[in-house]
Amino acid sequence: MFSVLTRLFHALATMAAMALIAFSLLHLLGDPVENMAGQEVSVEDKERLREAFGLNASVPERFASFVLALVQGDLGRSLQYRRPIADLFAERVPATVELVLVAAIVSIVVGTLLGVWAAAKPDNFLSRLVLTGSVVGVSLPTFATGTLLIYLFAVAVPIFPAFGRGETVDIWGWQTGLLTRSGLMALVLPGATLGLFQLGIVLRLMRAEMLDVLRANFVLFARARGLPERSVVLVHALRSAMLPVVTVAGINLAGLVAYSLITETVFQWPGLGLLFIDAVQFADVPLLAAYMVFVAFVFVTINLAVDLAYRFIDPRIRAGQTMQPG
Amino acid sequence: MKKRLSAALLALALAAAGAAPAQAETFRWAFQSNVGGLDSMSTGDSSTRNFLRNIYDGLTRFGPDLAVEPALAESWTRKSDTLWTFKLRPNVVFHDGAAFTADDVVFSYTRAMSGASDVKPRLATVKGMRKTGPLEIEIETVGPSPTLLNDLTYMDVFSADWATKNNAAEPIAASTRGENFASRNANGTGPFKVVKFDVATGVELLPHDKWWGKKEHGITRAIFTPISNDSTRVAALLSGQVDMVFPLPEQDAARVRASSNHQVLTTPEDRVIFLGMDQGRDELLYSNIKGKNPFKDQRVRLAVMQAIDTDLIREKVMRGAAFKVGALMTSAAFGWDKSMDERPPYDVNAAKKLLADAGYPNGFTVTLDCPTDRYTNDQQICVAIVGMLAQIGVKVDLLAQTRNLYFAKIGKRDTSFYLHGWGVGTDGQSIMQLLMHTPGQGIGSWNVGNYSNARVDSLIKEIGAEMDEKKRLALFKEAFDIHRAEVGVIPVHGQMLTWAVSKKVTLRQRADDYLDLRYVTFAR
């Protein structure tokens, strides 16, 4: 119980620190008023606009009012769209969540399977090829992968759309692209772009862990006991090897939310990342600060979830023991 | 071959006769930024305002060649220099089916002049509007206003009933920091009506069946998408997902030209890129010269101008996507004269001599403010200028930063030397008032360098009140002759607009970067 409270405190402190950092940096983005009003608008009218939006207040004052509103559950109002940020987030979250989840699930499932296979058959030509290919996935920057995929599969061989989300269906206010053909087609390229990096990491990590575990004593015993090889690898060894992979995949899931920024820009994917990039260009400080706090919240939540997941996967942790480095 | 030719001729003849039947055609296009909202009176963004011209009409509008033509006003007469009567077009209906009347015009004027309106400055010369009949209004101007018909194109006409009923009688007030019904819904009299609007994914339009004008386009549905990433925008075009994209970045133009299904369209934009110099202060804020201001000396300004090889900048930095200018004026605007494109020759030796005569044989140091994301290749232009000025001993420290920082800085006149750009529009008067007039209350607000000449000021005043076109043109010429001779600013070039279009469609490109859907047709 105590540890949960500590964790909660840490989470709040992290988010507060993020908001502070955001506010102390964001004024460097410059003056949004030039974007809010046309060039012909008089200096006096611009000054009025600045006053109305509280842009003349000092950074500490603006930070204080931001936090005060946040505590009351108000994320504030965007300068660019002049709408409540909470509404904007609610509209954009589905696109990002679907993209990130598809990328995460595909990369974890495919990455794990390929990793196990590569470890079980280390001398196979194909498994070596896959391993080499994963280096490319890990080292290519996301925008390069995205641009490359667009030119290969949208322009040269036009199978998938080059941009956008396709048709969406409204389910209780959640705009999903998972239920239409065009929505699913539109997910392929950005999902692959975003997932490729994660896939490479999961694959390599899984393989390394598996190679380790397959040499462990309990595997020898299991084999000596005459358990079928399939069950040794996929049940006993895999479960032990999963732990570090879950940690990294969990942290990377939060990373995916952050990386989706680039993927969304490349594919004009109407999610939070695109909202953020537009806001940077506009110097829409309240929106940027709210986004950064939101992302901090996502990181904190996922880390918490990863901690809890340990207890299910590794019995030693459930029993309250400290984890020994493998 | 012969058969094909005659078939083509037949098609041409049919098209010319307007006999080609309209087919179900969806037109899709993409622009680099989104449509921020549907209320043209509360957006400072010219691309959004341009988009909305497809949906709303003004009393007057611009034709494809930027000449003013009648729109909701069918005709007008001038009773005196300051009193105009406008006959309104009968049988015009809004998208919601309501009939258009004089009340809507007067209402829209009130709306345009209220609190947070962004069109207010455009209507500065209008003193008042009143209804004189169900389809007739009278406009009184502050003084004689030669640009009235021009200015009225900016005033979109809203339905008084619709706006009032939906609590959108005022464009959103800055004080409430909010939005209103008209920000995300539209009801104009224009050729297209909005069926779906989303800031992130775009806007879907259908033709307005009861539009008052003669339909020339072949569109049955039009879909706009913002695509901010340059390379994705081009990919969307090449893959056939959209029929037209703009702007087309110069580095991608070759790829579009190489495609047999697409073409590149270019036209001079009405925007002039220029260098401004602080000529007001007694000492420059950012220079090694203390106690005096080199830019106050006309010889120094001319030296700097003659040391910059703008031909080379147009050719190398702009890769040809720029045209020569000699003043804050382009040929698209009223008031232009071909003498305004002439400039003193590029001549390093002459420049050195001018500098020496002015007392700076070894040059001086000055900081150049430059935006990095506002004009085409803005930063590269500045880098080129730094190198060129080094040849005459003027050492330039380049301060290149993002537009939000840049505009905040030069807006406060916190600069000695800056690269700036301005869209001249369709009449030279507004750029003169904003950039050439001595700064004062509500005037000269973008004359950041504090250029000041009493004769130019009085000429600008006369231009704003001269109703005779010939006389007005002569006033323009005199004012620009002085401004050019005194090197009030150093014009660098005019920008070209580059669009990329599928060969499936034909359309007209306009100097103000406005895609007019009225002229989009499909090839058979």
Give the nearest partner residue to B44 out of A37, A43, A155, using CB atoms. A37
Whether B75 and chain A come into contact, CB under 8 Å, resolves to no
Q: Give residue A320's pLDDT.
A: 52
Contact criterion met (CB below 8 Å) for B388 and B416: no
Q: How confident is the model at residue B173 (pLDDT cuts 50, 70, 90)?
A: low
Give the nearest partner residue to A155 out of B183, B238, B422, using CB atoms. B238
> How many CB atoms within 10 Å of residue B455?
10
Structure confidence by residue, pLDDT tens digits, B462-499 = 999 999 999 999 999 999 999 999 999 999 999 999 99
Contact criterion met (CB below 8 Å) for A45 and A37: yes
What are φ and ψ of residue B29, in 5° steps? -145, 160
- The alpha carbon of residue B4 is apart from the nearest alpha carbon of chain A, in Å, by 31
The answer to whether the pTM exceeds 0.90 is no
Q: Is the pLDDT of residue A1 over 70?
A: no
A64-78, A91-105, A271-285, B357-371: least confident range: A64-78
Chain B residues with CB-CB distance to A272 below 8 A: none
Strand partners, B263: B501
Q: Give the residue from A141, A150, A164 showing the smallest Cα distance to A95.
A: A164
Structure confidence by residue, pLDDT tens digits, B378-405 = 999 999 999 999 999 999 999 999 888 8
Q: Give the residue from B199, B194, B239 showing the smallest Cα distance to B221.
A: B194
Q: Give residue B385's pLDDT.
A: 97
Chain A residues with CB-CB distance to B124 below 8 A: none
Please give the ipTM for the structure prediction: 0.83
Q: Give residue B276's pLDDT.
A: 97
Whether B405 and chain A come into contact, CB under 8 Å, resolves to yes
Give the nearest partner residue to A40 out of B122, B402, B407, using CB atoms. B122
Q: Give residue A314's pLDDT.
A: 66
* CA angle, B306 then B310 then B315, to 5°: 155
Nearest chain B residue to A285 by CA distance is B404
Interface of B with A in 437-466 (CB under 8 A): 442, 445-446
Contact criterion met (CB below 8 Å) for B32 and B102: no
Query: Can you list the positions of beta strands (E) in chain A?
Result: 169-171, 174-176
CA-to-CA separations, B440 to B292, B418, B426, B436, B443, in angstroms, rounded: 24, 21, 24, 11, 5
Q: Give residue B176's pLDDT.
A: 56
Nearest chain B residue to A85 by CA distance is B178
A25-29, A291-295, B263-267, B297-301: least confident range: A25-29
Contact criterion met (CB below 8 Å) for A45 and B118: no
**B121:A82 CB<8 A:** no
State the best of B199, B245, B256, B261 to mutate against chain A, taking most chain A CBs within 10 Å.
B199
- The alpha carbon of residue B121 is apart from the nearest alpha carbon of chain A, in Å, by 6
Cα separation, A227 vs A222, in Å, equals 6
**B225:A32 CB<8 A:** no
**Quick one: what percent of chain B has pLDDT higher than 90?**
77
Query: Which residue has tokens 């993409």?
Result: B30
Query: Which residue has tokens 């206003």?
Result: B145
Cα separation, A275 vs B230, in Å, equals 17
Structure confidence by residue, pLDDT tens digits, A200-241 = 888 889 999 888 888 888 888 888 888 888 888 887 888 888
Residues B171-198 have a mean pLDDT of: 84
Cα separation, B376 vs B251, in Å, equals 12
- Give the A:B interface size as CB pairs under 8 Å: 135
Q: Is the pLDDT of residue A81 over 60?
A: yes
Chain A residues with CB-CB distance to B241 below 8 A: 154, 161-163
Structure confidence by residue, pLDDT tens digits, B427-448 = 999 999 999 999 987 789 899 9
Interface of B with A in 367-396 (CB under 8 A): 373
Give the nearest partner residue to A30 out of B45, B172, B405, using CB atoms. B405
> How much helix, strand and coil, in percent to the nearest 5, is found in chain B?
30, 25, 45
More confident residue, B29 or A281: B29
Q: Is the pLDDT of residue B458 over 50?
A: yes
Residues B488-514 have a mean pLDDT of: 94
- The alpha carbon of residue A87 is apart from the nearest alpha carbon of chain B, in Å, by 13
**B405:A162 CB<8 A:** no
Chain A residues with CB-CB distance to B232 below 8 A: 147, 150, 162-163, 266-268
* CA angle, A113 then A242 then A219, to 5°: 90
Q: At B219, list the tokens.
A: 């569109």
A126-135, A190-199, B206-215: least confident range: A126-135
**A30:B231 CB<8 A:** no
Contact criterion met (CB below 8 Å) for B328 and B430: no
Structure-derived torsion over alpha carbons of residues B302, B305, B306, B310, reported in degrees to the nearest 10: -160
Whether B120 and chain A come into contact, CB under 8 Å, resolves to yes
**B235:A48 CB<8 A:** no
Structure confidence by residue, pLDDT tens digits, A116-166 = 888 888 888 888 888 888 888 788 888 899 999 999 999 999 899 999 998
Cα separation, B235 vs A154, in Å, equals 7
Pairing type for strands B244-246 and B26-31 reads: parallel
Q: Give the residue from B201, B204, B243 showing the smallest Cα distance to B220.
A: B204
Contact criterion met (CB below 8 Å) for B227 and B236: yes
Q: Give the residue from A95, A89, A99, A22 showing the smallest Cα distance to A256.
A: A99
Give chain B's end-to-end CA distance (angstroms, integer): 18
Give the nearest partner residue to B407 out of A31, A147, A158, using CB atoms. A31
CA-to-CA separations, B139 to A66, B84, B132, B270, in angstroms, rounded: 47, 5, 10, 29
3-state class (DSSP) for residue B396: strand
> How many CB atoms within 10 Å of residue A229?
10
Chain A residues with CB-CB distance to B406 below 8 A: 30
Residues B362-366 have a mean pLDDT of: 96
Contact criterion met (CB below 8 Å) for B262 and B243: no
Contact criterion met (CB below 8 Å) for B82 and B176: no
